Amino acid sequence: MFKIAGALNYLIVVFLNAFTDLGHKIIIQNTIFKVYDGDLLIVLTTIVNALILLPFILMFSPSGFLADRFAKKSIMEYSAAFAVVITLVITYAYYHGLFLLAFSMTFVLALQSALYGPAKYGYIKELFGVQFITGANGAVQAVTTVAILSGIIFYTVLFEGFYTPDLHDKHAVLEAIAPLGWLLVLSSVVEWFLASQLPNTMQEASKRTFHLKRYIRGAYLFKNLKTLKRKQEVYEAIIGLGLFWSISQVVLAIFGEYAKRSLGVSNTIFVQGVMALAGIGIVVGSLLAARYSKYFINMGLVSIGAFGVALLVFCIPFVHSMSVMAVMFMGFGIFAGFLMVPLNAQIQFLSPRVHLGTVIAGSNFIQNIFMFFFLVFTTLVAYFGVHSEYLFFMMGAVGVYLVWMLFRRYSVDTFWAIMEIIGRTRHIYRYVGLENVPQEGAVLLLGNHVSWLDWVVMQLPLKRRINFMMDKEIYHWWGLHAFFQKGETIPLSQKASKDALHIAHQRLLEGKIVGLFPEGKISDDGALGKFYRGYEIIPKDYEGVIVPFFIEGMFGSMFSKYKPTEKKSFFKRRIVTVYYGEPVSKDTNAQELREIIQGLKK
């Protein structure tokens, strides 16, 4: 992925964009933190966050139009040039102690980001392609988070270095930290230069026009919102991201006051440092999400991420140790990465290229609408003196709704994601010849059977769900039956084998993958046993093929019948390899198939 021309350049541009935006925000927030206390501190912090959100709401239609009308590389280049001008004005405001000007420039800098965003994220699909869309999103999320994390630490440490306890006036504080403005300017200049070097990935010029009157009347708004709703899954992903970011914004907005009042922490390095650990968590979570999405976008991760976020937010008011809080914030970030990366990748993947900029701008619009109203709610609650503990509980309740919404759509994917996470703690999976499994059409997947987890190993690299034939007693296991049923597993017993084969036939007629083990049982010695001819009874009137496979590495594990006397180290993961043969005719008999599978082991 990183060998693609312009990939590293693009990631550095993404880093510098977030680093600069965050730098000014931190300087303003830390100034407010030093000068104000109590409810006013929450209100002003919330207003700062609102100033960052508003441009994304106001610029929904223009930013989407620009990203679809012009080359996304050009949008990023000119936006970076605009950032240079903005940071020069900010630096002027710092040196002259003009707090209101510096405060208002937060809005202008966010305006630049709002115009920049759809092009920046739409560029991912154009530059990296569908093959690397999840990995690229993971990398972008990780880089953005590292930028935010390093920006928080970098600018907070320098802020504390310039700040002295005798500075109690906001104007004096700005004058004291004024040299930091030049660092913002430098970052913007470097970003501008690198953005100008990016390759132009626009395949076809657009001839769209933008009419200001239609924008003012709201015609573009309603039209673009309809575009978002064309695919329900895209729209639900956007809503999911909106709810997540709303929870995150409120938590970050109130944590400073909570730490100062309930935990007695007034040093901005400690407060920002704990919140910055969420950034480290997001980096880890994003990279893990990309790893678990190696073969396809793993949507099961989003339910896991939402559950972790909701649980941790609920727990914050019960924790009175900054050390424990630091661990919790890092966990929050990991779960956030699980949630954000697949949802963003799914939005980009399912959106047509011609409307990609509009969809991403619309995603920003809805997410920021959610965040804005949540922050207004936070401001009102703080104004009436409601303690921050209650706000944490409220956000936890929103998290519970988010879990329900995502799990309802991705329940089966969630089951498989959990199985993969557990499996990868003990195994290293390798898949050879995976391209031999057709992306569409009926497939009869047949191979050896060496452990109780063979069905898990086979499913992990495939987005298409395998309709496994499994023992009827296992099919009815308590706690797993609902997942087996929703996953369209086919129950098999000696008394009802014809019924199972009939169901398998119907699934094949529907163009699905049906998986079974012709040996009929788990191997006792690891050798390939006799193949039974049951699958040959399935009528051949479907359009499809047989794909043979051979599983190596599971025999001798705790899930196989054979247990070696020599125990392996618990910390050493078992290497499991699955070999897929080239598709063969559905008329291939059991003996021929056995010989083919016997020859798959390399």
Tokens, residue 530: 């006799």
Work out the percent of the chain whose per-residue pLDDT is above 70.
92
Q: What is the pLDDT of residue 66?
A: 77
Q: Which strand (E) or helix (H) includes residue 469?
A: strand 466-471
Least reliable range by pLDDT among 293-297, 405-409, 579-583: 293-297
Burial class (CB in 10 A: 0-12, 13-18, 19+), 577: middle
**Tokens 């180290």, residue?**
569
The per-residue pLDDT for range 418-469, each reduced to its tens digit, is: 999 988 888 999 999 999 999 899 999 999 998 888 888 999 999 889 998 8
Structure tokens at 540: 């051949």
Strand partners, 429: 576
Residue 164: how many other CB atoms lie within 10 Å: 10
**Taking Cα atoms as reference points, which of 327, 292, 2 lies closest to residue 143?**
2
More confident residue, 60 or 439: 439
Cα 422-426-432 angle, rounded to 5 deg? 95
**Which residue spans of the chain are classified as CATH 1.20.1250.20?**
7-199+214-424
The reported pLDDT for the residue numbered 487 is 76
What's the pLDDT band for 88 if we cut at 50, 70, 90?
A: very high
Backbone angle region of 488, left / alpha / beta, with phi > 0 → left and psi within -120 to 50 → alpha: left
Q: How far apart are CA 305 and CA 400, in angstroms?
A: 12
What is the rounded CA–CA span in Å between residue 31 and residue 25? 10
pLDDT band at 211, cuts 50/70/90?
low
3-class DSSP assignment, residue 426: helix
- Give the residue with greater pLDDT, 201 vs 454: 454
Residues of the chain with CATH 3.40.1130.10: 433-598
Q: Which token pair is 147?
A: 């930028």
pTM for the predicted model, two decimal places: 0.76
Is 70 exceeded by the pLDDT of residue 92? yes
Pick the CATH number of 433-598 from 3.30.420.40, 3.40.50.200, 3.40.1130.10, 3.40.390.10: 3.40.1130.10
- Rounded mean pLDDT, 461-484: 82
Enter the CATH code of domain 7-199+214-424: 1.20.1250.20
What ranges in 351-439 are assigned the alpha helix state H?
356-383, 388-426
pLDDT at 325: 87
B/e letters for 47-70, b = 16+ CB within 10 Å, e = fewer, are bbbbbbbbbbbebbbbbbbbbbbb
Of the candidate ranges 47-56, 158-167, 242-251, 517-526, the one whose mean pLDDT is the lowest: 47-56
Residue-level pLDDT at 218: 62
Q: Cβ of 275: how many Cβ atoms within 10 Å?
A: 22
Nearest in space to 137 (alpha carbons), one of 403, 316, 417, 339: 339
Residue 104 CA: distances (Å) to CA of 11, 34, 37:
29, 19, 21
Residue 548 is predicted with a pLDDT of: 93
Spatial CA neighbour of 194 closest among 18, 16, 67: 16
Contact 518, 588 (CB under 8 A): no
